[in-house]
Amino acid sequence: MREIRVIGDPVLRTPTEPISEFDRDLRRLIDEMMESMYAADGVGLAAPQIGVSKKLFVYDVNGRKGHVVNPELTIDDPEEVLDEEGCLSVPGRDTGKPLYAPTPRAAGVSVRGFDRLGRPVRLKARGLLARCFQHEYDHLEGTLYIDRLSKEAARKILLQAP
C-alpha cells in the first residue's frame, strides 16, 4: 500500500509520462494502487496520487473495476452534468476525508489504452464511471477537480484543505 499524496505536492501538478514497459513492476504498481484505493475508500486512483508520474489509473465503480495504462479520453456526450465530486488528494484538514463540491463533467466518455499486459482496452462510460474516468485522467494531466470549479467554490475547498 502506498501513501496518498495531497494537494501541495508538486507531483499532483506535473503532467505524467507514458508507460513503455509492461512488466512485473507495472503489475505490482497496479496491485499496490488498487490496494491503496480500497484502503482509502476511493473509487479511482491515478499514479501521481501515490507519487508516480506515469500515465496509469485504476478504478472500481459500481462493480466495474480495472485499470488503464496510457489512457486517451474522448468526450462522447458533452452535455454538462453537475454532481458532487471529491478527491483523496484534497482532504479536509480536520477530517482527512475528501472535500466535495458540485463539479461539472461531460455526461459520456470513452477511454482507450492498454491493460497490464499491453493488450488494447476500450471502455465507454456514463454516470459515475464517466465522472471517475474524467477525474483520474485529469490527474494524469496535472489537473485537480478544484480547477474545474468557480474561483469562489475552489477557494472554499482550499480553505479547508491542509
Q: Which residues are catalytic?
A: 136
Give dist(CA 133, CA 110) in Å, integer: 9
Q: List the one residue out of 42, 21, 51 whose CA is nearest residue 116.
A: 21
Side by side, which strands form the sheet with 44-46? 44-46, 56-61, 64-85, 101-114, 120-126
Q: Which residues contact 83 (CB under 8 A, 6 or more apart)?
A: 102, 103, 105, 131
For residue 114, count other CB atoms closer than 10 A to its CB: 19
**How many angstroms separate the CA atoms of 50 and 39, rounded?**
13
Q: How far apart are CA 157 and CA 127, in angstroms?
A: 23
